[in-house]
Amino acid sequence: GQQVMQIPQYQHVQEGEDFTTYCNSSTTLSNIQWYKQRPGGHPVFLIQLVKSGEVKKQKRLTFQFGEAKKNSSLHITATQTTDVGTYFCAGLETSGSRLTFGEGTQLTVNP
Amino acid sequence: EADIYQTPRYLVIGTGKKITLECSQTMGHDKMYWYQQDPGMELHLIHYSYGVNSTEKGDLSSESTVSRIRTEHFPLTLESARPSHTSQYLCASSDYPDELFFGEGSRLTVL
């Protein structure tokens, strides 16, 4: 079955440093979604990427979808303490009908 | 704001008890899901439904059962709870192939 791998599992940064998490799928994806889960909270949708090579920005967050539609990344510029949480990618197979989540990257930001 | 609700938010029960976790959504979504998640860890899909009278087991084996008699309602039942069932259970719904809306979760502790 489809596997979605996400690295790193944990990332500790100083406030102001950049952060990147990577997502890799074993199969070609129809789309990829990103979610953020604050400590003690529930996952909240951030964005969906559909097109090969697509890049989308949300303020300090930049999302990329690979040309082969098998990998994606989320980059945060100049992290803030409000960025703390776990970031999950979730991929939808081209032949599938449900999302497969990556293991998540837990981000901690030291003030 | 997503209109998906889970009750109870917190539950502490003894081994062997039967419990039902409730999940309701008012968005008219056909697809609904149950995930199991330990704090800060990956999301494990345990059940999903694509519509009324349709239920499927997910990727993670679970001793729980679900039903989908009404579009808006997707309860999860444990016939005999054990300490190994201690976890957070997250309900979600979607309007395929779009984002998942998650409830706030039910945190279960089995003594």
pLDDT of B96 over the 80 cut: no
**pLDDT category of residue A109 using cuts at 50, 70 and 90:** very high
Please say whether the beta carbons of B73 and B55 come within 8 A. no
Q: Give chain A's contact residues with B (Cβ, < 8 Å).
A: 1, 30-31, 33, 35, 39, 41-45, 48, 86, 88, 90, 92, 97-99, 101-104, 106
Give the number of beta-carbon pairs within 8 Å between A and B. Answer: 46
Residue B1 scores a pLDDT above 80: no
Asked if B104 and A33 come within 8 Å (Cβ–Cβ), the reply is no
A92-104 pLDDT, tens digit per residue, is 988 777 789 999 9
Tell me: pLDDT of B39 over 90.
Answer: no
Please state, in angstroms and rounded to a whole number, the distance separating the CA atoms of residues A17 and A22. Answer: 17
- Counting residues of chain B whose pLDDT is more than 70, the rounded percentage is 97
Q: What is the pLDDT of residue B62?
A: 80
In terms of Cα–Cα distance, which of A110, A111, A89, A108 is closest to A100?
A89
